Amino acid sequence: MRVLLAEYATGGGLPGGPLEAGLLAEGLAMLTALLADFARSEGYELLSLVDCRTDRDSARRLRSAAPGARIEAIEPGQLREELAERILWADAALVVAPETAGVLADLTAVIERAGKLNLGSSAAAAALAGDKLLTFQRLADAKLPVPPCLELAPGDPLPPPGWSLPVVVKPRDGCGAEGVRLVREAGRWEGEAGYVVQPHIRGKHASASLLVSRGRAVALSLNAQHVRVSAGRYVYLGGRVPLAHPLAERALAVACRAAEAIPGLGGYVGVDLVLSGGEAYVIEVNPRLTTAVVGLREVLPWNLADLLVGAARGELPAAPPALAGSVAFRKDGRLRVRRAPAGSPVGDVEP
């Protein structure tokens, strides 16, 4: 099978100018993991695109992950055009990109129009999950535990009437912790339109890594998220796989239901949660690969590449995996792995 793998930051998605180091490191970690998993499984011929501004060490790292892969340099900002041309070579493809401004949906549509096997979520699912207000409405209609979500207009009161402080304000169209802020003082929204507000829920930040196919989801792991609030803004630092928690079973069940509530999600899907007061609250659904995958693949007993291809064909594991250890990971992909003795539990228990 010919497989094309493209990651937005490393693969020519960004316009001209210097590459932002943080975006590049995170994207490089995910793409390296993907290439390595496809390379260690038989039957795949690989092609990946790399921004011509990528430094030699990063390019060498990609080639080392998959020595037999074709790693081809393209000009900045040309990912969509190059993808439309190179997809004709492939049998299957996976794009890792932000949902912001419809980027992921647009690139995925290129795969769909070419009639190739899409190893991720559909363009329509990426568009829906990228809209935080529409996602909230969809999950609320499915009677899932989600914090209330209201659209903000310039001049609206913070907190909204009947709410208490603090509240969380975030872009309606955003990705990860980008632009998310914690508001602790009463006032009025002085920003522009296109933001939503939610109550702040105190608890443990977590994410679920899922494998999704044709309206069904299987949990791969529950992960700790390391999040810091600095100058009122949320900063994602990394996490740990897995998270052993009293609410783990509930969290994974809720995450699977959330993924199943959004038609067209497929392949690897991440669900962000806050575990608090006996409940697992869904905060966001990520219709794409997330950074947690760089840790998950270290303790997963299966090859992620084969799982993605199987899910695209409608095949899912019969049950969640037994993970073989725990991994702390940073946003840039650096790992600290702890293997567990056979038969012993993994992960650190947190309240």
- The 3 state secondary structure assigned to 236-248 is EEEEEECEECCCH
User: How crowded is residue 148: how many other Cβ atoms within 10 Å of its Cβ?
Assistant: 13
Q: Which of 227, 229, 225 is nearest to 207 (CA)?
A: 225
Q: Among 199, 219, 240, which residue terminates a domain?
A: 199
Question: Which residues lie closer than 8 Å to 163 by C-beta, 6 or more apart?
Answer: 199
For residue 170, give both structure tokens: 């975030």
Instruction: State percent of the chain over pLDDT 70.
Output: 96
Which is more confident, 24 or 3?
3
Same domain, 213 and 193: no
Same domain for 219 and 194: no
User: Quick one: 190 and 208 in the same domain?
Assistant: no
Q: Are residues 344 and 211 in the same domain?
A: yes
pLDDT digits (tens, 9 = 90+) for 126-142: 999 999 999 999 999 99
In which band, very low, low, confident or very high, does the pLDDT at 28 lie, cut at 50, 70 and 90? very high
What is the H or E stretch that residue 233 is in? Answer: strand 233-241
pLDDT at 130: 96
Please indicate, yes or no, if residue 139 is contained in any of the structural domains.
no
Q: Are residues 177 and 231 in the same domain?
A: no
Distances from the Cα of 298 to the Cα of 206, 329, 338, angstroms: 19, 10, 10
Same domain, 156 and 40: no
Q: What is the pLDDT of residues 279-333, one digit of tens each?
A: 999 999 999 999 999 999 999 999 999 999 999 999 999 999 999 999 999 988 8
- Domain hosting 16: range is 2-119
Show the CA angle centred on residue 294, arms to residues 309 and 343, nearest 5°: 90
- Burial (CB < 10 A; 0-12, 13-18, 19+), residue 113, is exposed
Q: 241 and 345: one domain?
A: yes
pLDDT in the model for residue 339? 58
CATH code: domain of residue 280: 3.30.470.20
Residue 219, token pair as written in the block: 């949990």
- Mark whether 173 and 284 lie in a shared domain: no
The size of the chain, in residues, is: 351
Asked, for residue 153, whether it belongs to a domain, the answer is: yes
23 burial (CB, 10 Å; 0-12 / 13-18 / 19+) is middle
Bridge partners (DSSP) of residue 218 are 211
- Percent of the chain's residues with pLDDT above 90: 88
What is the H or E stretch that residue 5 is in?
Answer: strand 2-7
Please count the CA atoms within 13 angstroms of the CA of 199 that sit on its side-chain side.
14
16 and 49 part of one domain: yes
Distance in angstroms (rounded) separating the CA atoms of residues 230 and 232: 5
Q: Does residue 140 lie within any of the structural domains? A: no
**Which two three-digit tokens encode residue 215?**
């309206």
> Is the CB of residue 216 less than 8 Å from the CB of residue 316?
yes
The CA-based angle 226-232-234, given to 5 degrees, is 30
Q: What is the pLDDT of residue 70?
A: 96
Domain annotation covers residue 224: yes
pLDDT in the model for residue 22: 79
Domain presence at residue 212: yes
Peptide bond into 242 cis (omega under 30): yes
For residue 174, is pLDDT > 60? yes
Per-residue pLDDT, 340: 52
Alpha-carbon distance of 107 to 99, in angstroms, equals: 10
d(CA 184, CA 168): 9
Residues 224 and 193 in one domain: no
Instruction: Quickly state the pLDDT bin for 17 (edges 50, 70, 90).
Output: confident
Q: Do 336 and 220 share a domain, yes or no?
A: yes
If asked whether residues 17 and 91 sit together in one domain, one would say yes
Q: Does residue 80 belong to any structural domain of this protein?
A: yes
Which one, of 258, 310, 311, lies nearest residue 282 by Cα?
258
- pTM equals 0.94
Report the domain count for the chain. 3
Q: Say which residue the tokens 């392949």 belong to.
A: 267
Decide the pairing of beta strands 267-276 and 279-286: antiparallel
- What pLDDT is recorded for position 88? 97
Tell me: the pLDDT tens digits for 224-274?
Answer: 999 999 999 999 999 999 999 999 999 999 999 999 999 999 999 999 999
For tokens 């129009």, the residue is 113
